[in-house]
């Protein structure tokens, strides 16, 4: 669903200056990180550095196959 902002609905403050946008992104990331640390869910503790020995399924996008090699867009 696409949200269309009514004229009376105020614009986000981050749209007024680039510095405010970066501040809003930083605050949102910080908020999300704190929320993840304080909730009761378990997340992965280690990161696997080596890749898998095989690919499970190859990507079959019609657009990628149709436009592969074309750079005139």
**For residue 10, how far is the Cα from the chain centroid?**
24
Residue 5 CB contacts under 8 Å (≥ 6 apart), including other chains? 11
Number of independent structural domains in the chain: 1
For the segment 4-28, the average pLDDT, to the nearest whole number, is 82
Model confidence at 3, pLDDT cuts 50, 70, 90, reads low
What secondary structure letter does DSSP report for 61?
-
Q: Is the pTM of this model over 0.85?
A: no
CB-based burial label for 55 (10 Å; 0-12, 13-18, 19+): exposed
* pLDDT above 80 for 67: no
Residue 11 CB contacts under 8 Å (≥ 6 apart), including other chains? 5
Domain that holds residue 34: 11-40
**62 domain-assigned:** no
**2 domain-assigned:** no
Average pLDDT, whole number, for the chain? Answer: 77
């Amino acid at each position: 669903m696409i949200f269309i902002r009514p004229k009376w609905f105020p614009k986000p403050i981050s749209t007024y200056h680039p510095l405010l946008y970066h501040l809003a992104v930083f605050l949102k990331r910080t908020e999300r990180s704190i929320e993840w640390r304080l909730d009761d869910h378990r997340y992965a503790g280690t990161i696997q550095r080596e890749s898998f020995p095989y690919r499970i399924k190859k990507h079959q996008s019609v657009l990628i196959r149709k436009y592969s090699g074309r750079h005139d867009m």
